[in-house]
Structure 1
Amino acid sequence: MSAVRDNEAAQRYELDVDGQTAIAAYHREGDVVVFTHTKVPDALQGQGIASRLIAGALADVRAKGLKIEPLCAFVAAYVARHPEAANIAPR
């Protein structure tokens, strides 16, 4: 499994697993990363891929000194379950 990467040109975080790519789409509003959608390929469902993707994405957001707005239901649920993410969400 590779590392989570920010594909800024496509406005999404990506995680490659077994030749497939899970994504967390976003757009930027100033210093806020607005997460809009998370998609994990069907073959990878139920393996914790989305959680790993979002953990990596949030770590990158934090490292860049940005905040998030979790419009995506999965990202919102992840933040609710992980108090350590509270300092970057929501705005």
Structure 2
Amino acid sequence: MTYTLEHNVEESKYEFHIGEHIAYITYDDQNGDMHLTHTIVPDALAGKGLAKTLLEAVLQQIKKDNKKAVAKCSYIVNYQQKHPEASSLFV
């Protein structure tokens, strides 16, 4: 299944809208370094790999915007450790 990443600038979130649910990653843009602070997947969508799909879409958008990610939530820190091939996307 494919999802469309939406950038909610007003609330500093990257979002997937899935039916009545929203999975999202919050961020704090600090001079182009995107501090990714929270990853939220509703319980109804948990256990389906959605957090990983969302994070990878966010990382690609950050790369496209010529910015870098900074892992500030435990899920993203864990992802960064398990995926060294993505290290160029992080500060």
1:33 aligned residue: 34
Q: Distance in 2 between matches of 1:82 and 1:59?
A: 14
Shift of 1:5: 1.8
Preserved CA contact (<8 Å) 1:5 1:57: no
Three-state SS of the structure 2 residue aligned to 1:46 is coil
Corresponding residue number in structure 1 for 2:64: 63
CA contact (8 A) 1:14 1:24 kept: yes
Q: TM-score, normalised by structure 2?
A: 0.90
Match of 1:79 in 2: 80
1:12, 1:24 within 8 Å by CA — same for their partners in 2? yes
Aligned residue pair count: 90
Q: Which 10-residue stretch deviates more, 3-12 or 22-31?
A: 3-12
Q: Which amino acid aligns with 1:41?
A: P
* SS of the residue 1:37 aligns to: strand
Task: Structure 2: state its 5+ residue gaps.
Answer: none
Unaligned runs of 5+ in 1: none
Give the ranges of 4+ consecutive aligned residues of structure 1 lying more than 4 Å apart after TM superposition: none
Deviation at 1:31, TM superposition (A): 1.3
Q: Deviations over 1:26-62 (max 9, x none)?
A: 0100010001101100110000111111000000000
TM-score by length of 1: 0.90
- What secondary structure, in the 3-state scheme, does the structure 1 residue paired with 2:11 have? coil
